[in-house]
């Protein structure tokens, strides 16, 4: 077995929570901190490789493929008002499971809970933004598919890449044995405030649209028919 193949095999074992040499199950915290294996004494850790990059489901092409699929699905769904919101929610859920979830298990319970809350609130902000965009461009029947085909993957990438930043930082703190920081408690609060602002904007946009429709001088069917008859004479 070549050195590269051996290293790849060791990384696969470590990604599964096992020692890269003896394949015995070990603590993920020990792997993060590059401690010695309690069974064979070898040094655990990815040896200058980022944990997320070493895990197969975190590879860049997974994310790029996901963004491309979201772009296509958003373009197709954009022809039907509000359908793209469903696509956006599915994209956030699927990419969270594929790209982010496995990284959370490397964190301590308290840090994992706070990171998960931060990601969920961040995802709620993204989903609400998608709803706001869909409401705003609903009248643009012809252009909505093209707009949502660009906005959909952009919002998805914003969620995934932003969540990876949150995850990477907490993994580094975990590896350095640092206690919970104020930022870890404050971030969910800040995201909650942002969520309330976005929700308020969405409600305002919907209310404004409904008010504009209710006050608009929209002719009735009989008036339209009468006008057409007058034009025909």
DSSP, collapsed to helix, strand or coil, labels residue 43 as strand
Could you say which DSSP state residue 96 is in? I
- Tokens 């929570």 label which residue? 17
Taking the model in full, what pTM does it have?
0.72
DSSP, collapsed to helix, strand or coil, labels residue 25 as strand
Closest-CA residue to 77 (of 136, 144, 126, 124): 144
Residue 123 lies in a domain: yes
Q: Mark whether 134 and 80 lie in a shared domain.
A: yes
Q: What residues are paired with 43 via a beta bridge? A: 36
pLDDT, averaged across the chain: 80
Q: Mark whether 89 and 177 lie in a shared domain.
A: yes
Tens of pLDDT, residue by residue over 120-153, are: 888 988 998 898 888 887 777 677 888 888 999 9
Euclidean distance between CA atoms 46 and 9, whole angstroms: 11
Tokens representing 8?
A: 């790849």
Q: Mark whether 81 and 183 lie in a shared domain.
A: yes
Q: Mark whether 90 and 164 lie in a shared domain.
A: yes
Structural domain of 24: 3-49
Tens of pLDDT, residue by residue over 67-113, are: 999 999 998 888 787 888 899 999 999 999 888 887 888 888 888 88
Q: Are 70 and 156 in contact (CB under 8 A)?
A: yes
Burial annotation 83-104 (CB, 10 A radius, 16+ → b, else e): bbbebbeebbeebbebbbebbb
Give the helix, strand, coil percentages of the chain, each rounded to 5: 75, 0, 25
Residue 230 lies in a domain: no
For range 192-211, the mean pLDDT:
75
pLDDT of 68 reads: 93
The CA radius of gyration of the chain, in Å to the nearest whole number, is 25
Q: How many domains does the chain have?
A: 2
Q: Mark whether 35 and 12 lie in a shared domain.
A: yes
Considering Cα of 13, then 17, then 23, then 27, what sign does the dihedral take? positive
For range 167-172, the mean pLDDT:
86
Euclidean distance between CA atoms 203 and 209, whole angstroms: 10
Q: Are 28 and 105 in contact (CB under 8 A)?
A: yes
Q: Mark whether 118 and 202 lie in a shared domain.
A: yes
């Amino acid at each position: 077995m070549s050195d590269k193949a051996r290293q790849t095999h060791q990384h696969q074992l470590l990604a599964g929570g096992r020692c890269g040499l003896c394949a015995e199950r070990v603590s993920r915290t020990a792997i993060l901190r590059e401690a010695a294996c309690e069974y064979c004494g070898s040094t655990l850790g990815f040896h200058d490789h980022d944990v997320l990059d070493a895990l197969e489901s975190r590879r860049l092409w997974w994310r790029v493929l996901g963004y491309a699929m979201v772009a296509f699905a958003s373009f197709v769904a954009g022809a039907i008002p509000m359908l793209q919101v469903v696509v956006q929610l599915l994209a956030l859920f699927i990419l969270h499971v594929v790209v982010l979830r496995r990284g959370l298990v490397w964190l301590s319970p308290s840090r994992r809970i706070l990171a998960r809350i931060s990601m969920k609130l961040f995802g709620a902000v993204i989903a609400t933004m998608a709803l706001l965009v869909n409401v705003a461009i609903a009248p643009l029947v012809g252009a909505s598919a093209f707009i949502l085909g660009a906005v959909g993957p952009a919002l998805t990438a914003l969620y995934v890449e932003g969540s990876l930043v949150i995850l990477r930082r907490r993994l580094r703190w975990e590896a350095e044995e640092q206690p919970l920081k104020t930022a870890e408690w404050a971030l969910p609060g800040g995201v909650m405030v942002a969520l309330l602002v976005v929700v308020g904007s969405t409600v305002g946009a919907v209310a404004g649209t409904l008010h504009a429709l209710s006050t608009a001088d929209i002719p009735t069917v009989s008036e339209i028919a009468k006008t057409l008859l007058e034009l025909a004479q």
